[in-house]
Chains A and B, each alone.
Chain A
């Protein structure tokens, strides 16, 4: 099956700093989502981005499908950005069967 690798595994920032999270995948995909998992376990949708670039406030994401990677940018980080960020991909006719990466644990200090 498809492999998903996220980097870095852990990231510690001071409030106000910018960061880039990376997601590499081993095969072509037609579904890619970024999630933020809050301390209670809820997965919050950030982006549905199988290709191209999107922005939502301080967050933006870019997927380069031909090179099999996606990037999540967080600018002017806030303490509330802390948590685990997951990239998940799907491919073929089973595009809804998401394969998740191991996640990036982000800690933002005041």
Chain B
């Protein structure tokens, strides 16, 4: 049973550029979550999907952020016009019922 995978693992970009991250959940899991973690803090919830439906979005998810989960399988998180404040670890998790399992994260650095 493979775990949650995320790509890329690291992304360095210049301010103003767009970036897209991908998350592949554990295959039978119907729920998929995105979190963001900055240095010294615990992860913070961004959004989640049940199958292909995006059910909740945090106030942290500005209009520059968009997430999709076409066909209820993998998910993408896009950040448009990146800002230095977007630098963080972006974590994806999946679950079937209750317990969530996290991927290794994508570390974004905005120069």
Interface residue ranges, A against B (CB under 8 Å): 4, 31, 33, 35, 40-43, 45, 48, 50, 86, 88, 94-103
Interface check B41, CB cutoff 8 A: yes
In the complex, are the beta carbons of B45 and A99 less than 8 A apart?
Answer: yes
**Shortest Cβ distance from A90 into chain B, in angstroms?**
9
Q: A42-B105, A45-B102 are in contact. List 9 more A-B contacts (CB 8 A).
A: A31-B98, A33-B100, A41-B89, A42-B102, A45-B101, A86-B43, A98-B33, A100-B42, A100-B43
Interface check B28, CB cutoff 8 A: no
In the complex, are the beta carbons of A33 and B99 less than 8 A apart?
Answer: yes
In the complex, are the beta carbons of A41 and B107 less than 8 A apart?
Answer: yes
B56: chain A residues at CB < 8 Å are 94, 97
In the complex, are the beta carbons of A48 and B42 less than 8 A apart?
Answer: no
In the complex, are the beta carbons of B44 and A100 less than 8 A apart?
Answer: yes
Q: How far is the CA of A43 from the CA of B3 in the complex (A)?
A: 12
Give residues 68-105 of B contacting A (CB, 8 Å): 89, 91, 93, 95, 98-102, 104-105
Interface range for B = 20 to 34
Q: Which of B98, B99, B104 contacts A41 (CB 8 A)?
A: B104
Q: Which of A4, A50, A98, A103 contacts B100 (CB 8 A)?
A: A98
Q: Which of B44, B91, B95 contacts A96 (CB 8 A)?
A: B95
Interface check B31, CB cutoff 8 A: yes
Give residues 22-60 of B contacting A (CB, 8 Å): 31, 33, 35, 37, 41-45, 48, 56
In the complex, are the beta carbons of A97 and B45 less than 8 A apart?
Answer: yes
In the complex, are the beta carbons of A42 and B41 less than 8 A apart?
Answer: no
In the complex formed, the residue of A with least CB distance to B37 is A41
Q: Which 5 A-B pairs have the closest CB atoms?
A: A100-B42, A48-B99, A43-B102, A41-B105, A97-B45
Q: Which of A35, A96, A99 contacts B33 (CB 8 A)?
A: A96
**Shortest Cβ distance from B18 into chain A, in angstroms?**
23
In the complex formed, the residue of B with least CB distance to A84 is B42
B95: chain A residues at CB < 8 Å are 96
